[in-house]
Amino acid sequence: MENKLNFLMNLTGTKNSVLSKAVSFDPSYISRIRTGKRSMPDTPQFVEALASYFSRNIRPGEQQVILASELCPGKALPEDREELQMLLSAWLHQKELPKPDSIHSFLNGFASAGMLAANAARAVTPDMSPEELAAAIRSRTEQLETEAGGNPYFYGNEGKRRAVEIFLGRLCCSNKAYQLLLYSDEEMSWLYEDPAFAKRWAALLIRLLSTGSRIRIPHNITRDSNEMFESVQKWIPLYMTGAIEPLYYPRLRDGVYHRSLFIAKDDSALISTSVGRNTDGMLNIQIRDRQAVQALEQEFANYTSLCLPLMHIYSKKNSRDCFQAMLQYEKQPGDVIFAHPLPALFTMPQSVTQSVRLRSASGFFSEYQGKSYAIFREHMRKGERVIEILNLPNAKDVKDGLVRFPLEDFFELGPEPVSAAELKLHLKNVIRLLRREPSYQVILSGMIPKNICLSAKENTGAHLMSALAPTTNFEIREHNMTAAFWEYLCRIMEDDNSHSREDVLRQLDAYIRELDG
């Protein structure tokens, strides 16, 4: 169900104003949740109040029957109100996977993020040279500091924006590299409701990263899964710089008090606190006292000691670590789904393997391909499913030498493209495996962007990679993100269930003939 709150309110005929009084939330916020503009907070403060209200206001008869079909299909609702409240609470707490559109948007964002990461500064400030940007930041920071008159206190969303600009602007003007410790689980409208500020904020962060600064940031994943993906998506271009370490806190929080900690280690900080989703008029404090900053650094460290990595990010500079992580992931038992533009290396025939190996300037290709081949042979021997979703390149592009090997920079393969002869031999081996291995399956689909590789194992993890150089690999182990990618790939499979194995074989044969033509 996409919107549980809207379902309950429509079922009981509850108005926004009535519910807002019952749960102590602003009516406009209730409205935004109902229309999908805001996600429903998964916090005891909000959810328990909802469960209590609706357990008291479900009328006997049709309402009970409809609610039972959602909460406990095939059974009647509990007659005891406290039991019904507990059942409602558990149902409301259940995580909903992101909508397919959210995942598709996330993948499209990832597919274009490599170029954005490489040209982030030009994308944000296309009309400014680095020198002009530095001068603009200095002028803006001095203006804001003059207006503040040394006052460290700023109020509400507008105040937070001014305080953030001063905080980041001062760091940029120093031309030093900082360790930035950033955390916020407060309502984020202060950042996104002013597009001009959001652009300046991005320019400030990019400027800091370009001069060697690094960011450590715990994400709030207790939000609705769609909101979590949208939040993470905004950071992808910066993640791809390799300068950000994303974390997450794995347990539920009470959702009453919210906190922001923006710290430049050994320099300064900006802090704020709010209750619920209400940031109007709340106090934001700039801190430059070194002892106070050190105390806040310890607070941040105490919190991150309870966190886990949201993802490990690999680039060419740590490609060997990446291959080790991928092999460990591949060894884990269970079915696996791949989505990529070319067949996986474990399906590559020996003749093509030898040809590609000769182009590799390192031993990574030979080492990884051999181990991966052995791992997947063992999976299929055990009857574990290995599924490839292929979005094959245009055959003319292959013949024209326009198609590159995925991860070519990791493997140090040099400038040679994928040849039509190599791909033809590879696909013939895929056909041979399809005819021989019942656990191996291929689906031809255009749902996954051509320039990414995605792999997921249920309850194990996922790998999301840019197929083209510069390659970045996001190794994801967080349960909700893993489940979302797994379910998304399963949906693609289910949508394709009308295509039998014989249909796929015929399509692959036709594609090989195009390569010959």
Q: For residue 319, what is the domain's CATH number?
A: 3.30.870
Look up residue 54 and give its amino acid: F
Q: Are residues 145 and 77 in the same domain?
A: no
pLDDT of residue 225: 56
Q: Are residues 111 and 49 in the same domain?
A: no
Query: Ranked by mean pLDDT, which of 44-58, 157-171, 476-490 comes out on top?
Result: 157-171
Q: 261, 288, 309 — which closes off a domain?
A: 309
Query: How many distinct structural domains can be found in the chain?
Result: 3
pLDDT tens digit string along 303-353? Answer: 999 999 988 999 888 888 999 999 999 999 999 999 999 999 999 999 999
Look up residue 84 and give its amino acid: L
Average pLDDT over residues 226-239: 70
User: Is residue 223 scored above 60 in pLDDT?
Assistant: no
Q: Are residues 54 and 107 in the same domain?
A: no
Q: Where are the alpha helices (DSSP H) in 81-129?
A: 81-93, 100-118, 120-124
User: Is residue 230 scored above 80 in pLDDT?
Assistant: no
pLDDT of residue 116: 47
Q: 93, 117, 134 — which closes off a domain?
A: 93
pLDDT of residue 395: 94
Cβ pair 343, 373 in contact under 8 A: no
- What CATH number does residue 196 fall under? 3.30.870.10
Going by pLDDT thresholds of 50, 70 and 90, the confidence category of residue 239 is confident
- Which residue range is the domain that position 52 belongs to? 4-93
pLDDT tens digit string along 371-410? Answer: 999 999 999 999 999 999 999 999 999 999 999 999 899 9
Look up residue 416 and give its amino acid: E
Q: Are residues 18 and 107 in the same domain?
A: no
Going by pLDDT thresholds of 50, 70 and 90, the confidence category of residue 467 is confident
Category of 470 on φ-ψ map: left (φ > 0), alpha (ψ -120 to 50) or beta: beta
Question: What is the rounded distance in angstroms from the CA atom of residue 517 to the CA atom of residue 399?
Answer: 9
User: Is residue 439 scored above 90 in pLDDT?
Assistant: yes
Percent of the chain predicted with pLDDT > 70 = 89
pLDDT of residue 1: 46
Q: 309, 338, 366 — which closes off a domain?
A: 309
Q: Are residues 437 and 509 in the same domain?
A: yes
Cβ pair 441, 501 in contact under 8 A: yes
Average pLDDT over residues 413-430: 93
Q: Are residues 370 and 504 in the same domain?
A: yes
pLDDT of residue 152: 96
Of 295 and 72, the structure prediction assigns the larger pLDDT to 295
Largest CA distance in the chain: 76
Q: Are residues 347 and 471 in the same domain?
A: yes
Q: How far is CA 86 from CA 39, 60, 188, 255, in A?
A: 22, 18, 31, 19
Q: Are residues 244 and 260 in the same domain?
A: yes
pLDDT of residue 222: 54
pTM of the model: 0.73
pLDDT of residue 24: 80
Q: Are residues 336 and 448 in the same domain?
A: yes
Closest CA to 80 of 109, 104, 55, 61: 55
Question: What is the rounded distance in angstroms from the CA atom of residue 464 to the CA atom of residue 451?
Answer: 11
User: Is residue 168 scored above 80 in pLDDT?
Assistant: yes
Question: Which residue(s) pair with 274 in the sheet?
Answer: 258
Average pLDDT over residues 227-247: 76
Residues, the chain: 517
Closest CA to 225 of 484, 489, 477: 484
Q: Are residues 225 and 293 in the same domain?
A: yes
Average pLDDT over residues 7-25: 86
- What CATH number does residue 55 fall under? 1.10.260
Q: In what order do the strands lie in the sheet with 268-275?
A: 153-155, 283-287, 268-275, 257-264, 179-184, 214-219, 244-248, 308-309
Q: Are residues 122 and 189 in the same domain?
A: yes
Q: Are residues 42 and 132 in the same domain?
A: no
pLDDT tens digit string along 79-134? Answer: 888 888 888 888 887 655 555 566 777 787 777 665 444 455 554 565 678 888 88
Question: Which residue(s) pair with 336 in the sheet?
Answer: 386
Going by pLDDT thresholds of 50, 70 and 90, the confidence category of residue 357 is confident
Cβ pair 411, 364 in contact under 8 A: yes
Report strand pairing: 308-309 vs 244-248: antiparallel
Three-state DSSP class for 46? helix
Report strand pairing: 473-476 vs 461-466: antiparallel
Going by pLDDT thresholds of 50, 70 and 90, the confidence category of residue 36 is low
